C-alpha cells in the first residue's frame, strides 16, 4: 500500500477495532482519520483539531464509536468517530502535557503525563477516579493485563509499575527496581507469561511475570538505537507467541523472534526518521501494520509479505540459537524444568550475582559498539568468550546488512 500523507508529524496512531479505519494524532493538534482497502486505496474520512497544541496520544472505545485524544494542551477530548465531531472536553485533565492514553475496560480509561502522573477515568464522569504519583518522569507506554485487571506502565524514570485498578489505594501493586535506562515500550510475549520492554540503549529487557516485577530476567541487545515502540503480531501466525514488531530510532521496523532470537525481516524502512508508533489493524489481528515516523506520512505494510515464508523458515532455518536456562522454548522437558528450578532455588544469591554480572557486561558491550560505530559486528554478541546463563547466542546474520 502506498504511504498515506498526513501533512504533519504523527505522534500516535490507532486502528478502529472492526473497520478499515486508522486515526492519527499530529504535532499540529489535528486528529485525522483515513479509510483504506486491501487494494491499496485510501481516502480521508475527517480532520478535527480539538486543540492548537500537539496531540500526543489517542485511544479508542471497544466498539470504535468514540476516540479519545490528549496532548500538550493538558485536556482530554472525546471525538465521535462517525462524524469527526468533538463531543466532550475535560479541560486541565492533567497539570502538564499528557503523553499516553489507553482504554482498559468499557468504562475505564488511563492517561499518563510528562511528570509521571497516571490517572484513571470513567468516561461517563467528569473528574478522574484516581491519580498515581509514584513515577517521577514521563509515562512512555501502557499495557493492560485483562486477566488480573492490572495496568502496567513504563516510564522515563527507568522503572515499570503495576497498578491494580480494583484497589482503592493510590499506590502501585508492584514497581520494578531502577533499570539504569529509560523504559520506552512494553509488549507481552509467551502468552502473557513474559514481557519485552524496549529501552533507550536498544536493549530488550525481559520480565517474567512468575518471578515478580522487581527486575528483568534477561537482557537482549541487538538494536543499534532506542526501541521506541513495540507491538505483537497477529495470533494466527505460528510463532506469534514469541514474535514481536519493534520500531527503533534508526528508522527500521523489524520483525524479531525471541527464544530463539533471530531477525525475521525488516517490515518497513522510514529512512533516517525515528519511528514513533506502530500498530496492527483489526485489534491486532489484521494484515496491515501501521508505522509512523517524523516524515509526515503513515506507512501501511502488508504483514503477509514478511511472514509468508515463516513456516518454511521454522522447518529448516537454523539462524537462531536457543537461550539457555528458564528462557528456553515452552515445550522443553518438564523434568529438566523442575531440576533447573530446584538449582535456582538452592542458590538464589549466586543466581542474582550471575544475572547482575551478565546485565553489566551487556550494557558495556552495547556502549562500546556505539562508541566504535562498527556495523560489521554481530549486535547480539557480547564482548565475552564464556557462555553465561542469560547470554543470547546468534549467528552473525542476525542484524547483518541493516
pLDDT in tens, 20-48: 999 999 999 999 999 999 887 999 999 99
DSSP letter (8 states) at residue 394: B
- Helix residue ranges per DSSP H, 69-178: none
Give the pLDDT band of residue 308 (cuts 50, 70, 90): confident
- Angle between helix 348-372 and 334-346 (nearest 10): 100
Please tell me whether residue 71 adopts helix, strand or coil conformation.
strand
Q: pLDDT digits over 346-376, tens only?
A: 454 554 444 444 444 444 544 444 444 334 4
Rounded distance between C-alpha atoms, residue 52 and residue 73, angstroms:
8
C-alpha R_g of the chain:
21
Say whether pLDDT at 190 is over 60: yes
Say whether pLDDT at 333 is over 90: no
Residue (of 216, 209, 219) closest to 365 by Cα position: 219
Instruction: Sort strands 160-164 and 204-208 into parallel, antiparallel or unpaired.
Output: unpaired
Output the pLDDT for position 307: 82
The domains of the chain are located at 1-133
CA distances from 115 to 128, 129, 341, 369 (A): 17, 19, 40, 32
Asked if 43 and 34 count as a contact pair (C-beta separation under 8 A), the reply is yes
Output the pLDDT for position 322: 38
Rounded distance between C-alpha atoms, residue 361 and residue 371, angstroms:
15
Q: In what order do the strands lie in the sheet with 218-220?
A: 183-189, 194-199, 204-208, 218-220
**Cis omega before residue 237 (within 30°)?**
no
Give the pLDDT band of residue 2 (cuts 50, 70, 90): confident
Considering only the top CATH level, what class is 1-133? Answer: mainly beta
DSSP symbols for 264-288: EEEEEE-TTSPP-EEEETTTTTSSE
Say whether pLDDT at 148 is over 60: yes
Read off the pTM.
0.78
Output the pLDDT for position 309: 57
Say whether pLDDT at 388 is over 70: no
Bigger pLDDT: 368 vs 136: 136
Output the pLDDT for position 397: 53
Rounded distance between C-alpha atoms, residue 391 and residue 202, angstroms:
16
Residue (of 258, 213, 264, 292) closest to 14 by Cα position: 292
The burial class, CB within 10 Å (0-12 / 13-18 / 19+), for 340 is: middle
The C-alpha cell that represents 61 in the structure block: 472505545
The C-alpha cell that represents 154 in the structure block: 513504563
Say whether pLDDT at 379 is over 60: no
Place of cell 490507532: 14
The C-alpha cell that represents 391 in the structure block: 547470554
Bigger pLDDT: 263 vs 311: 263
Q: What is the mean pLDDT of the chain?
A: 84
Amino acid at each position: 500500500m502506498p504511504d498515506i500523507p498526513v501533512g504533519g508529524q504523527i505522534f500516535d496512531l490507532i486502528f478502529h477495532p472492526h473497520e478499515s479505519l486508522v486515526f492519527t494524532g499530529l504535532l499540529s493538534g489535528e486528529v485525522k482519520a483515513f479509510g483504506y482497502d486491501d487494494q491499496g486505496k485510501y481516502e480521508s474520512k475527517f480532520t478535527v483539531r480539538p486543540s492548537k497544541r500537539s496531540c500526543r496520544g489517542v485511544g479508542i472505545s471497544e466498539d470504535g464509536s468514540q476516540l479519545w485524544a490528549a496532548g500538550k494542551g493538558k485536556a482530554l477530548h472525546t471525538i465521535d468517530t462517525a462524524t469527526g465531531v468533538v463531543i466532550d472536553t475535560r479541560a486541565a485533565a492533567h497539570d502538564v502535557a499528557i503523553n499516553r492514553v489507553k482504554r482498559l475496560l468499557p468504562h475505564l480509561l488511563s492517561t499518563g503525563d510528562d511528570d509521571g502522573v497516571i490517572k484513571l477515568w470513567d468516561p461517563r464522569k467528569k473528574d478522574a477516579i484516581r491519580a498515581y504519583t509514584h513515577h517521577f518522569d514521563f509515562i512512555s507506554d501502557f499495557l493492560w493485563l485483562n486477566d488480573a485487571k492490572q495496568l502496567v506502565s513504563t516510564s522515563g524514570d527507568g522503572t515499570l509499575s503495576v497498578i491494580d485498578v480494583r484497589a482503592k489505594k493510590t499506590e502501585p501493586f508492584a514497581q520494578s527496581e531502577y533499570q539504569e535506562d529509560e523504559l520506552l515500550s512494553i509488549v507481552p510475549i509467551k502468552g502473557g507469561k513474559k514481557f519485552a520492554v524496549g529501552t533507550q540503549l536498544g536493549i530488550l529487557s525481559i520480565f517474567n511475570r512468575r518471578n515478580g516485577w522487581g527486575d528483568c530476567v534477561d537482557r537482549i541487545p541487538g538494536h543499534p538505537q532506542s526501541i521506541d515502540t513495540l507491538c505483537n503480531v497477529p495470533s494466527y501466525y505460528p510463532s506469534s507467541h514469541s514474535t514481536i514488531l519493534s520500531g527503533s530510532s534508526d528508522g527500521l521496523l523489524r520483525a524479531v523472534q525471541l527464544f530463539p532470537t533471530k531477525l525475521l525481516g525488516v517490515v518497513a524502512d522510514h529512512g533516517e526518521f525515528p519511528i514513533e508508533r506502530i500498530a496492527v489493524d483489526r485489534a491486532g489481528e489484521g494484515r496491515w501494520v501501521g508505522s509512523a515516523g517524523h516524515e509526515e506520512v503513515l506507512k501501511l505494510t502488508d504483514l503477509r509479505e514478511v511472514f509468508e515464508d515463516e513456516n518454511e523458515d521454522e522447518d529448516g532455518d537454523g539462524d537462531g540459537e536457543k537461550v539457555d536456562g528458564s528462557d528456553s522454548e515452552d515445550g522443553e522437558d518438564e523434568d529438566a524444568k523442575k531440576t533447573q528450578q530446584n538449582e535456582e532455588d538452592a542458590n538464589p544469591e549466586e543466581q542474582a550475582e550471575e544475572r547482575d554480572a551478565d546485565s553489566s557486561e551487556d550494557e558495556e558491550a552495547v556502549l562500546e559498539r556505539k562508541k566504535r560505530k562498527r556495523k560489521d559486528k554481530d549486535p547480539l554478541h557480547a564482548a565475552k568468550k564464556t557462555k553465561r546463563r542469560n547470554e543470547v547466542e546468534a549467528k552473525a546474520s542476525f542484524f547483518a546488512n541493516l
